Amino acid sequence: MKLKWILLSLFITISTVLIGCEPVLVLDPKGPQAETTANVIWLSIATMAFIVIVVFVLLVIILVKYRASKQREDYEPPHIEGNHILEGIIVGIPVLIIIFLSIVSVKSTYEVESVPEGYEDQEPLVIYASSSNWKWHFSYPEQDIETVNYVFIPTDRRVEFRLYSFGPITSFWIPQLAGQKYAMADMVTTIHLAAEAPGEYMGRNANFSGEGFAENIFNVTALSHDEFNTWVDEIHATAEPLTEETFDRLLEPGHLGQMTFTGTHLEFSPAPEGEHGGHNHGPSESSDMEHDHSDHDDHGGNDDHGEHDHDSHE
């Protein structure tokens, strides 16, 4: 009787806790890329659940069928040869499961890395998302605005986030719209997504990056096209311009609220891509030699030019 009340209390407690829980965001997709990820997770859960159920059923059957019998102590069971069919099943089924999950994983990885299905013919809205300790900066080069710790995007529009970092490696993640992608200091990575429904979504840094990591979050708001254009117009009518001095202060370690500016830091602090990319190895060796030779001639044959450069630099 006592055990019955303990189990009943445990059931009520678990039910109460689960009722108060928020839905798992990654399993509540609002875009095609996130939906692909959610489908793979559900498929993996179903596969693992099937395996667990089968194993436990077999365990019960074996425990019941081959439990200790009341034979005499000197009883010896008959010698049984191995069953090749059974051994093949034991080895073959796990191999088939691994092959199946591998195919699903590779296929879904290519899907989430590419442009969302149905949006291939659209021109993307390009947004540079850069992280610093411990905040996110969103630059809209086409709209000529910049936001801190929040980003607005239009619905049913292909969005291309170009990611990089002003500090340690971070991970850009909007669970309901796309998977994670690393943002690094010396290169730009790209993540494609589309929001199919208006709403507010949580985004965060999913890679530990120091003491302020827990609050390194941002808000994502998906608006209709008209509402998004209205928002852009309001920013240009009300926001202050972003200066290099202001941006340098924003990069200092710490937490900030949401901020909005006209202009972007890309004008005076370009993203590490193209000629500014950290992995750009420059011209060929012959070009380097010609460049070094011309520099040597300039510096050796024109002292006034060298002094002028020095004065200008100062």
**Residue pLDDT, tens place only, 103-144:** 999 999 999 999 999 999 999 999 999 999 999 999 999 999
Parse the chain into domains and list their residue ranges.
Answer: 24-65+83-114, 125-274
Least confident of 21-35, 142-156, 188-202, 296-310: 296-310
Is residue 23 very low, low, confident or very high in pLDDT (cuts 50, 70, 90)? low
- Contact (Cβ atoms closer than 8 angstroms) between residue 28 and residue 176: yes
Structure tokens at 228: 């998004």
Place of tokens 């669970």: 175
- In tens, the pLDDT along 29-53 reads 999 999 999 999 999 999 999 999 9
- Contact (Cβ atoms closer than 8 angstroms) between residue 235 and residue 260: yes
**Sign of dihedral through CA atoms 88, 94, 97, 99?**
negative
Is residue 4 very low, low, confident or very high in pLDDT (cuts 50, 70, 90)? low
Residues 6+ apart with CB under 8 A from 116: 31, 32, 33, 158, 192, 193, 194
Architecture in CATH of 125-274? Sandwich (2.60)
- Contact (Cβ atoms closer than 8 angstroms) between residue 267 and residue 128: no
Q: How far is CA 174 from CA 84, 177, 251, in A?
A: 50, 5, 22
